Structure 1
Amino acid sequence: MSRSFDRRSALRLFAAAGLGAAATACAGPGGSASSAASASPHSLATSGAVDGAVSFAHWRAEDKAVIADLIKAFVRQHPHAGVEQDISPSADYQSTALRRIQGSRTGDLFTAFRGAQFEQIVKAGVYSPLTGAKVTGRYRADLIEPGAHRGVQYGLPYQLVFNMPLANADALDRAGHTSAPADWDGFLRLLDDLKAKGYVPLAWPGGDSANAGQLLNTMVMNNAPSDDMFTKIESGAYKVTDDWFLTTLKQYGQLKPYFQDRATGSTTDAVAQLFAQGKAALLATGSYQMAGVRALGAKFPFDLVAPVTTTAAKARYQGVFNTTFILGVNSASKVQPTAYAFLEFLSDPANAGAYANRTGQHVTVEGVEYTNPDLKAVAPWLRKKTLLAPRFQFLDLDIRTAVENAAAAVVGGKKPEQAAEEAQRVIDQKRA
């Protein structure tokens, strides 16, 4: 987090490595889970006339204008083709996308969240496999594993994000912190110092299920006995009443004085506004909100700060990352050649770079040049030891909700032991 890091050097490193630094510094479980039996693969039409209208289904409304400009450029290359965006809010997309894209009523090209949604879509046979398709060669092979299942590449994760608190670097400087806290005591001391300077130390969207759980990624990354902690909670090998998770819940209780008022009912929009106005020092979501916060008028420089919940000696990871926004071609699409052509277009380094720099999202396409100042500011995290965001190991969203709700319940005043026992009862019922 040191502001002494030369940002231009970071960018040169990033561009030369083509995201390789991120891969070598990361240890990510759950990339290609094998619990669901996939349907028979459908062939993908990668050749044929590029014409007809393609429906592109996704959840990034904030990217609409950027993608619209990319579509215009695509149509200039393919005058007989067209692409229409079908956008749903992220929470709705997570719950309804499979029903909507089955049979290609929408989503000739579509996106998926890593984890449960990706697995559900694979099982339903909606993907046309991309294994062997030329487009896969444009991506870092070691960053697209979350789009594979049992050795078959069904989708291509397009975005690389850091699911950990976004920081107002000016606020950190004013509080006297120029390096990231290396342990839990140091993180609490940072929050104390920020509070003393008049900031809400940590803005948390506790009322938004899609984003409230992002903080859990970093809260468990060093507490858990293994990197596949949530896979094991889901299987029954671990329980939320285990000591390591009770420790996590107790630490949520320690964070309560540093959250904004009525944190468990706060929306993402409300806390993003609080952060953008300079009233909150940390925003407990992730780097994917950088562009949105800029659009709200934020002028301060960004950084990322992950809570290390152990001592420095016991910490295995400095933060978390995720590869998501998994692009795939619908097996039932009647315009597959055009959908695939648009996928290839988005995967061209120049076009992927245009998407990245305008949306503030790192991408997994190799050879992209980053000019966005915010992407350059967080580029040092590409060299740090990060864990593939464990929250998305859950394949049963009811179990994930029970685990995340336990943390929210503690922030709301419930004793950690009671919150854990109630969550474990839900998990046991789901597994029965």
Structure 2
Amino acid sequence: MNSSQSPSSRSLPLRRRSLLAALGVGATTALAACGGPGSGSAEDPTAAPAEGGEAGGSVNFYHWRSEDKAVLDELAATFSEQSGVTIEQTIDPSEQYQSTAAQKARGGDIGDALTAFRGTQLDQFAELGIFTDLGDADYVDNYEANLISPGEHDGVQLGLPYQLVFNMPLLNMDLAEQAGVTEIPRDWDAYLDLLDKLRGLGVTPIAWPGNDPANAFQIINSLVMNNGPDDEMFAKIETGEYKATDDWWIRSLTQFQELSTHFQENFAGSGVDGVLSLFSSGQAAILPTGSYQIGQVREAGAEFPLEFAPVMTNPAGEEPTYEGIFNSTYILGVNSAAQNPEGAAAWIEFLSDPANAAVYGDGTSQHVTVTGVQYENPDLQALAPWQSANTLLAPRFQFINLDIRSAIENSLVAVATGSTPEQAAEEAQALVEEQL
């Protein structure tokens, strides 16, 4: 990942304890212990794991990606054969997971191993002591060091971001070529020209899930990447250093308002399933969410080639600061209240092996942060050049205060449904100031 905003590399201890060092098909179940009741210090249940202990029984894996269930079941079957530990999945929809996962996992009844979103949720897990310290785990060395910093909190590696996500609009390249466009737009005029040509084909240029906040506002990432005054633009709105009424956000709202004229009818009431159907069937040319939905697009029967089409807001003739957006998320961790912490840690180490990470990546059409992974999935191979592009770590996830994030995001809906950019910005800033 080539980005001046990519997390910086950090030095790692040369030797770490491996939970699965002796594992293979038919291996014993003697494993090292990880943090949790009785394995960390009595004073700090999130402390680094101690030596000793055995794994067996069942592990509950709590996450939000229902689209990954089949692939994870396949991996769990292999893991069970090797370790004697069975995996049960508990899956909540992403919006529900963000709001209730911490409460559900604190008691340890579910989520021996669990996941967190980058930003707000990891911060919440850290404050509540839900994740154990994985910093001494040998398998941390299996990851790209510059991609797992979003799993750190106050210098402690609480979790391991597993997915390398590109939060950028997906483009149907068959439709683009039919429209006479053979190159991805690199400026605002070229982007609008693409949309106009796509409309000329009789298809919806952009299918926007306006009634599904988790997916609707992914577009904010590339919308602001070349508009913001610096890379920490949203973090500085939360501190009061920047305001929603600043020129850069009003400019972003103005451009989004123009984009919205290319959305489908009733976009404000559209859910993600509806826009997935429009896009997968070729009735819409752009799905403005991200790489995490490629698997669903393929499951819906789409066979056309895909490319990313980030919103390029820079003027014609001006080189963009950034070419696109990346994020490292789906942060894997061990619950400090886990009923089976040894098994949970062994499961995470299993997922961290490049061979198993390849199975996950190919099966979900999702790049991973594990090093040495060889993908067979044609979409992952085709989109691999974005791994070395000049991309910005997704700024949307800089928000810690969800009320402030909602105020900023909802100003997009406001301009798309009739408010002027200035009105929407003033209303957003008023809500922000209530939280400061």
> TM-score if structure 1 supplies the norm length?
0.91
Equivalent residue number for residue 27 of structure 1:
5
| CA distances 1:197-246 after superposition (whole Å, capped 9, x unpaired) | 11211111111011111000000000000000000001100001000000
Tell me if structure 1 keeps the 8 A contact 2:109–2:339.
no
Partner of 1:354: 359
Are the structure 2 counterparts of residues 175 and 26 from structure 1 closer, same or farther at C-alpha, using a change threshold of 3 Å?
Answer: farther
- Cα displacement (A) at 1:42: 2.6
- On the 8 A contact 1:46/1:340 being kept in 2, the answer is no
Give structure 1 stretches of 5+ with no counterpart. 1-21, 33-38
Alignment CA distance shift 1:409-1:207 (3 Å): same
Partner of 1:408: 413
The code of the aligned residue for 1:275 comes to F
Amino acid at match of 1:191: L
1:192 aligns with one of 151, 171, 196: 196
Query: Distance in 2 between the 1:47 and 1:386 partners?
Result: 43
Q: What is the CA RMSD across the aligned residues, in angstroms?
A: 1.6
Secondary structure in 2 matching 1:281: strand
Q: Aligned partners of 2:7 and 2:55: how far apart in 1?
A: 38
1:204–1:260: 8 Å Cα contact kept in structure 2?
A: yes
| Distance of aligned partners of 1:46 and 1:88 in 2 relative to their CA distance in 1, 3 Å threshold | farther
Aligned residue among 202, 207, 210 for 2:206: 202
- Asked if 2 retains the 8 angstrom alpha-carbon contact of 1:276 and 1:293, the reply is yes
SS of the residue aligned with 2:226? coil
Aligned to 2:184: 180
Q: C-alpha separation between the residues in 2 aligned to 1:314 and 1:43?
A: 46
Deviation at residue 40 of structure 1 after TM alignment? 7.7
For residue 331 of structure 1, the aligned residue among 326, 330, 336 is: 336
* Equivalent in the alignment of 1:260: 264
**Structure 1 residue 28, shift from structure 2 partner:** 3.6
Gaps of 5+ in 2: 11-43
Confirm or deny: 8 A CA contact 1:158 1:326 kept in the other structure.
Answer: yes
Contact 2:48 2:135 in 1 (8 A): no
- Equivalent residues in 2 for 1:105-144, closer than 5 Å: 105-144=109-148
Listed as ranges, the matches of 1:7-156 within 5 Å are 22=1, 24-25=2-3, 27-28=5-6, 41-45=46-50, 47-79=52-84, 81-156=85-160
Choose the corresponding residue for 1:283, options 257, 282, 287: 287
Offset at residue 133 of structure 1 (A): 1.1
Letter matched to residue 233 of structure 1: I
Q: Tell me the CA shift for residue 117 of structure 1.
A: 0.4
Look up the match of 1:231.
235
- Does the CA contact (< 8 Å) of 2:66 and 2:93 recur in 1? yes
Partner residue, 1:340: 345
2:407 touches 2:432 (CA, 8 Å); kept in 1? yes
Shift of 1:175: 1.0
Residue in 1 aligned with 2:318? 313
Q: In 2, Cα distance between the equivalents of 1:134 and 1:274?
A: 45
Report the number of matched residues: 402
In structure 2, the residue corresponding to 1:252 is in which secondary structure? helix
Deviation at 1:335, TM superposition (A): 1.3
Q: Which amino acid aligns with 1:129?
A: D
Aligned residues with identical type, % of pairs: 50
Per-residue deviation at 1:378? Answer: 1.1
Change (3 A) 1:237 1:338: same
Shift of 1:259: 0.5
Q: 2:248 maps to which residue?
A: 244
Residues 259-309 of structure 1: CA deviation (Å, up to 9, x unaligned)? 111111111111010000001111000011001011111111111111110
Q: How much has 1:189 moved relative to structure 2?
A: 0.5
Q: What is the deviation of 1:29? A: 7.1
TM-score by length of 2: 0.90
Q: How many angstroms apart in 2 are the aligned matches of 1:259 and 1:64?
A: 31
- Taking the aligned partners of 1:206 and 1:272, their CA distance within structure 2 comes to 13
| Preserved contact between residue 246 and residue 420 of structure 1 (Cα < 8 Å) | yes
**Alpha carbons 1:157, 1:327 under 8 Å: kept:** yes
Contact 1:157-1:325 within 8 A present in 2 as well: yes
Instruction: Write the distance in 2 (CA, Å) between the matches of 1:254 and 1:150.
Output: 41
> What amino acid does structure 1 have at the position aligned with 2:184?
A
Q: Give, in whole Å, the separation in 1 of the partners of 2:48 and 2:394.
A: 31
Larger helix percent:
1
AA of the residue aligned to 2:288: A
Alignment of 1:421-432 (within 5 A): 421-431=426-436
* 1:157-178: CA deviation from partner (whole Å, max 9, x where unpaired): 0000100100101111111111
Give, as a single letter, the amino acid of the residue that structure 2 aligns with 1:351: N
Task: Report if the CA contact (8 A) 2:7-2:149 is conserved.
Answer: no
